[in-house]
Structure 1
Amino acid sequence: MRKIIGLLAAIWFAALLSLGSAHADPVKRKVIIDDEGFALMHLTLLESSKVDVIGITTVSGNTWANRATAMALRGLEIAHRPDIPVVQGATYPLLNSEALTERWESLYGKLTWKGAWMKKWVESTVQSAPVYYGPNDPVELPNGNPKLKASPEIAANFMIRMVHQYPGQITIVACGPLTNLALAQRLDPQFASLVGELVYMGGSFNPHQVLDNVSAAEFAREYANSPRREFNARFDPEAASIVSRSPWHKLTIIPADPSTATQLTPDLLARLARAAAPDIGKFIAAMEPGYPLWDEIAAGYVLDPTIETKSEDLYVDYDTQFGPSYGDTLSWREHYQPHLGEQKAHVVRAIDPKRLAALMVQAMVEGARSTK
């Protein structure tokens, strides 16, 4: 009888432990953000209660890496997150360059966006004109330079160190050119296999204009004649190809396709600003509207993958031959891939824009609540 009573007590105690664990707070997902600046994507992840951002690495793309680093540091000051390290990465693509890009344009036509190499829009747009900087120009940010300092480490080395420290636990959210990831993989062949998931914004398959009479539609026009071209991959095609052939445990691609159904409207900016903590709200309110939510889709997917409404698993690579398709996205369904190391990726083709906006607002609410 004593044995039976002891057994029942053990079962009861185990049930209590199980019940307690079922109601315990879920473990936050560890995230490294790899990008070329600081924007709503960063804030969505920083303010969310679902993830723990353990580092931000910077890379040249829309702007040079030194400027991107200053922007990330200043953003963390505004978000009151000095605990997060910012680590500068690659200044230049692996092989591509400004001179090569200008040569390419003289042969094959003008690119819509060239990032750090952009001097002016080819045609008039509602978006503000880009400001051109050199890779080593002094950085003077409009909202003041940061007092925080960047880590002395190199971005690729930082990511390698982190995935060895937390094997299989880190999600990397990459929303710029993939140069840092390619360098990390070349330095450490184990790198990709130690990452829990890579979610990157890049590539293009066949985007279509979804919204009418909004400025976001301007960005859909470029895909009519070049549906496979996207800036992040085009800036460093060789890096994109290396990443495509690396042995990731889980690889998710957010291409340009779903972005044409989204727009950073004045109304969305106002909703986000009202929901956010005061300093972050002021920062958001000063943002320029009219752009698609390219990177924010990646952040939203990390927080809730069910925002996708259309997806496909494909083998993906990028064209590294210097010709008219340089940097274009290559893709194959099962059995048709060339078997040159390309990896299967989960490609998000469409999302629910309203759910994405709601996720972003909710993240700001959570962040504001945590500061009280």
Structure 2
Amino acid sequence: MTKRIILDVDTGIDDALAIGYAAHSPELVLLGITTTFGNISVPEATRNSLVLLEKLNKEVPVYQGADKPYARELFKPYSRHIHGEDGIGGCFSESPLRSAAEGHAADFIIDQARKYPRELTVIAVGPLTNLALALNRCPELPELLDRLIIMGGAVTVPGNVTPTAEANIYADPEAAEYVLTAGFNLTLVGLDVTMQTLLPQSDVDAWRGQGELAEFMADMTDFYMQAYKNFKPGIAGCALHDPLAVGVAIDPGFVTTKPMHIAVDTGDSPTVGRTHEVKSGEVPATEMSAGAARAGKTIDVCLEVDAERFLRHFLGRIL
């Protein structure tokens, strides 16, 4: 049975790998891609998504979305040191032939949710601003979606941009708090599991000589590999953060989850962007968390991953 999905991306390198993985997975029907700021600016994320879709020979609409956080000004620098000045490892060479579709990403998400009630999965692998905007415009969105899968957070492990915060949540903590406590059927795919999904250099090297798409993917991923070596010397590869979120949509059995109430530290907190469990009897961080806790709605937090089985599945689909 196929699953209708929207990918919400801030198209850096692992976003691009996630798009390729989704496009080559027959279990998924990719209705569209929505873009946001994050790794790079939103116009660049839109451009990169269009470039990649052309290389994949996939005619999928791309809708541009948020260019700054939901309730504050842009405060996290773009991640060009990880993803390259162009967001795809220096592989951008010419403008895409197509342009973005007319309309805002948030409205596209709402339209598709209403068109396919209880049949649509949104996979969000960047800051959650587009989802927060969509939720604000359509409060019934949690009841319309089948599932929301988010690559973000670090519930039981340290963060990757601060000691407590993961990059996507940190980039727009107010949006994350709003979305995570809104009552979606939600799976949180965070650093708790994604840092275990390491793509070895040898597998990237094996893509060489397999055609234009493979060379593009290898060149792009080599940049990401080097960034990981600079960031964490001795690491045995680069983490497949965003592809794992797609993998969970294809086969939830890749991960083991635990239901939790999750709150996000917001505002001027020194731990802004932290995702943490709110246990029974504890005082949640905000009234939104309190409302979610009172309603008894938990989210499924990924705590274990069958990394080797997922990696082999991803490698069998990416090219």
Fold match by TM threshold 0.5? yes
Structure 1 partner of 2:71: 95
1:49 alignment partner, SS class: coil
Q: 1:303 aligns with which of 229, 250, 263?
A: 250
Structure 2 partner of 1:180: 130
Deviation at 1:257, TM superposition (A): 1.4
TM-score norm. by structure 2 comes to 0.84
1:349 alignment partner, SS class: strand
1:32 alignment partner, SS class: strand
Q: Which residue type is aligned with residue 5 of structure 2?
A: V
Structure 1 partner of 2:272: 326
Q: Indicate the percent of aligned positions where both proteins have the same amino acid.
A: 27
C-alpha contact 2:35 2:64 (8 A) present in aligned 1: yes
Give the direction of change, closer, same or farther, for the CA distance of 1:155–1:265 in structure 2 (3 Å limit): same
Q: Deviations over 1:221-255 (max 9, x none)?
A: x58x82x311111110110011012121x210001
After TM superposition, the runs of 4+ consecutive aligned structure 1 residues lying more than 3 A away are 130-133, 270-274, 333-339
Structure 2 partner of 1:15: none
Q: What is the alpha-carbon distance in structure 1 between the residues aligned to residue 190 and residue 112 of structure 2? A: 26
TM alignment of 1:1-372, pairs within 5 A: 26=1, 28-37=2-11, 38-82=15-59, 84-98=60-74, 101=75, 114-116=76-78, 130-131=84-85, 142-207=92-157, 222=160, 226=163, 228-248=164-184, 250-271=185-206, 278-287=211-220, 288=222, 289=225, 290=228, 291-308=238-255, 310-336=256-282, 338=284, 340-342=290-292, 343-364=297-318
Give the direction of change, closer, same or farther, for the CA distance of 1:245–1:177 in structure 2 (3 Å limit): same
Q: What is the alpha-carbon distance in structure 1 between the residues aligned to residue 239 and residue 46 of structure 2? A: 23
Q: Deviations over 1:135-187 (max 9, x none)?
A: xxxxx972321011110110000000000000010110000000000000000
Q: Which residue type is aligned with residue 195 of structure 2?
A: T
Q: Which residue type is aligned with residue 251 of structure 1?
A: L
TM-score norm. by structure 1 comes to 0.72
Deviation at 1:88, TM superposition (A): 0.2
C-alpha contact 1:317 1:329 (8 A) present in aligned 2: yes
2:317 alignment partner, SS class: helix
Deviation at 1:321, TM superposition (A): 2.7
Q: What is the alpha-carbon distance in structure 2 between the residues aligned to residue 162 and residue 271 of structure 1? A: 38
Residues matched between the structures, number: 292
1:200 alignment partner, SS class: strand
Q: Which runs of 5+ in 2 are unaligned?
A: 229-237
C-alpha contact 2:197 2:311 (8 A) present in aligned 1: no
Give the direction of change, closer, same or farther, for the CA distance of 1:73–1:349 in structure 2 (3 Å limit): same
Q: What is the alpha-carbon distance in structure 2 between the residues aligned to residue 328 and residue 231 of structure 1? A: 10
Q: What is the alpha-carbon distance in structure 2 between the residues aligned to residue 191 and residue 271 of structure 1? A: 43
Give the direction of change, closer, same or farther, for the CA distance of 1:162–1:119 in structure 2 (3 Å limit): closer
1:56 alignment partner, SS class: strand
Largest Rg, 1 or 2: 1
